[in-house]
Chain A
Amino acid sequence: MGEHIYAKSKKRKSRSIYIGAGLLMVFAAGLAFLFATSKSDVGKATASLAELFMPSDQVKGSTEASITIVEYSDFQCPACAAYYPIVKQLTSEYGDRVKFVYRHFPLSQIHANAERAAHAAEAAGIQGKFWEMHDMLFENQKVWAESSNPDELFIGYAVSLGIDQGVFEKALDSKEVKEKVTKDYLSGMRARINGTPTFFLNSKQIQNPRNYDEFKALIEALSGA
C-alpha cells in the first residue's frame, strides 16, 4: 500500500518534471522566434533613404536606370568585403540596367584605417579610378586593415592602377575628398544606418540578402513590378 502511494507520487513528480521541461522548451523556442522575427521587423521598418540622389555619388552602371542600389559600406569591414564579390557579380550582370551607388560609412571607432581607405578611393576617383580602387581595397583588405602606415600601401595600389602618384597624394589630404566622405557618412546617419554594409533598393532599406541569388531575386521582383 505504502509502496503504491510512493509509486504514484513518483509518477506524479516525473510528470510534473516533463510538463515543466516541455513548457521551458516552448518558451525557449518562442524566445528564439520572437528575437529573430522582431529583428527582421526592425530591418523592414527602418526609414527609407531620403537622399537617393546626391550629385557627388560614385555610380556604377547607368544613371538612367530605373533600379537604384545604394550601399553604405566600410572598406575595412569584413562583412562588406564578404559582400563585395556578390555586388561585383550583380553590377557586371545587370550592367546598365541598374544604378549602383557606393557611399562611405567608415566605422572609425572600430576600424582604424577605414576612413583613410575611403579617402584613398575618392582620391583615385578624382582620376576616374574610384571603382578600380574600390575593388583593390576590398581584395586586399587583410593586407592594409591593420597596417600602421596604410598610406604607403594605398599609394602603391594607386600606382599599380596607373594613377598619377603626385596628384593622388595631394588628393588624399584634400578638403574635397574629406568632405565627400563626411557627406556620405552624414547621409548614412540621417538614414539611421546601424551597421555595414547596408543596402537600399530604390530608397528602401533591404535586409542583407545572404547570397547572390537572393539579392538577384530582390532586384528581379522590382524590375518585374
Chain B
Amino acid sequence: MTSLRLLSKLFLALSLIGFTDAAYLTIAHYTDAPVPCSLVGECEKVLMSSYAVVGAVPLALIGAVYYIAVFVIALVALAEEKYRLLFFAATLGLFGFIVSLGLLFVQIFVIKALCFYCLISGGISLLLALLGTRYLFPQLLVAKKREWV
C-alpha cells in the first residue's frame, strides 16, 4: 500500500505543477500579460493561434481544470486511503496525454512553432500517463483479482 501512497503523492505533485503552468497561461490570457517567450521559443505564435482556444475558452483554462480534477482525485485517494480512486486520476492522465500528443502534433506540423509552457504541460501528462500505466493499472488489477479470490 505504501507504493500507492507514494503514487498518489506523485500525482498530487505533478498535477500541482501542471496546474501552476496552466493557471499562469490562463491568467496571462485574460489579463493580456506578455508571455516571455519571444527570445527563447515561439510560444506567442502558438498561444495566438486559433488552436489555443476552443470557442471562447482558452485551452489553458481547460488544462487548469483538468489538473485540478487530477489533484482532487489524488487528494481524496490519499486522505481517505481509497487508492482505487487513483484509477480515475490515471485514466484522466492517459486522456490528457493523448490530448497533449495531439496538440504537440498541431504545434509541429500545423503551427510549426513550439510553445515552452505547452511542452511542460505535455511532459507532465506524459509522466502521469506513464505512472498510471506502468505502476497503477497493474497494481489495481492485482488488488481487484485478490478481492475476487
Q: Among the listed A39, A142, A196, which residue makes an inter-chain contact with B112, where contact means beta carbons less than 8 Å apart? A: A142
Question: Given contacts A31-B20, A40-B31, is CB(A195)–CB(B39) below 8 Å?
Answer: yes
A17 with B75: in contact, given A28-B19, A36-B24, A79-B44 (CB under 8 Å)?
A: yes
Given contacts A14-B80, A21-B12, A79-B42, whether A32 and B34 have CB atoms under 8 Å apart is no
Determine the chain B residues whose CB is within 8 A of the CB of A78 once the complex forms: 42, 45, 112-113
Question: Which chain A residues lie closer than 8 Å to B16 at the CB level?
Answer: 24-25, 28
Pairwise interchain contact B32-A209, C-beta atoms closer than 8 A: yes
Q: How far is the CA of A13 from the CA of B31 in the complex (A)?
A: 39
Residue A35, interface by CB 8 Å: yes
Q: What is the size category of the interface that chain A forms with chain B?
A: 35 or more
Task: Please tell me if the beta carbons of B39 and A207 are within 8 angstroms of each other in the complex.
Answer: no
Q: Is B3 an interface residue (CB 8 A)?
A: no
Interface of chain A, main secondary structure: helix
Q: For B19, what are the chain A residues with a Cβ–Cβ distance below 8 Å? A: 25, 28-29, 32
CA distance A18 to B72 in the complex (A): 10
Contact A32 B23, beta carbon cutoff 8 Å: yes
Interface size class of B (residues with CB under 8 A): 20 to 34
Q: Which residues of B contact A43 (CB under 8 A)?
A: 33-34
User: Shortest Cβ distance from A95 into chain B, in angstroms?
Assistant: 25
A28–B22 Cα gap in the complex (Å)? Answer: 11
Residue contact A40 to B36, C-beta cutoff 8 Å: no
Determine the main DSSP class of B at the interface with A: helix
8 Å CB contact of B38 from A21, A196, A211? A196
A90 interfacial by beta-carbon distance below 8 Å: no
Decide yes or no whether B48 CB sits under 8 A from chain A. Answer: yes
Chain A residues contacting B113 (CB-CB under 8 Å) are 78
Most buried by A among B27, B35, B112: B27
Assess whether B75 is in contact with A207, with CB atoms less than 8 Å apart.
no
The residues of B that contact A35 with a CB separation of less than 8 Å are: 24
A39 close to B33 (CB less than 8 A): yes
Residues of B contacting A32 in the complex (Cβ-Cβ under 8 angstroms)? 19-21, 23-24, 26-27
A77 at the interface (CB under 8 A from B): yes
Complex Cα distance A195/B35, Å? 11
Selected from B24, B42, B79, the residue in CB contact (under 8 A) with A17 is: B79
Whether A18 contacts B79 by the Cβ 8 Å rule is yes
Asked if A214 and B32 make an inter-chain contact with CB atoms under 8 angstroms apart, the answer reads yes
Seen from chain A, the residues whose Cβ lies within 8 Å of a Cβ on chain B are 13-15, 17-18, 21, 24-25, 28-29, 31-33, 35-37, 39-40, 43, 77-79, 81-82, 107, 110, 142, 194-197, 207-211, 214
- Listed from nearest, the 9 A-B pairs whose CB atoms lie closest are A195-B38, A40-B33, A32-B23, A14-B79, A36-B27, A32-B24, A79-B44, A17-B79, A78-B42
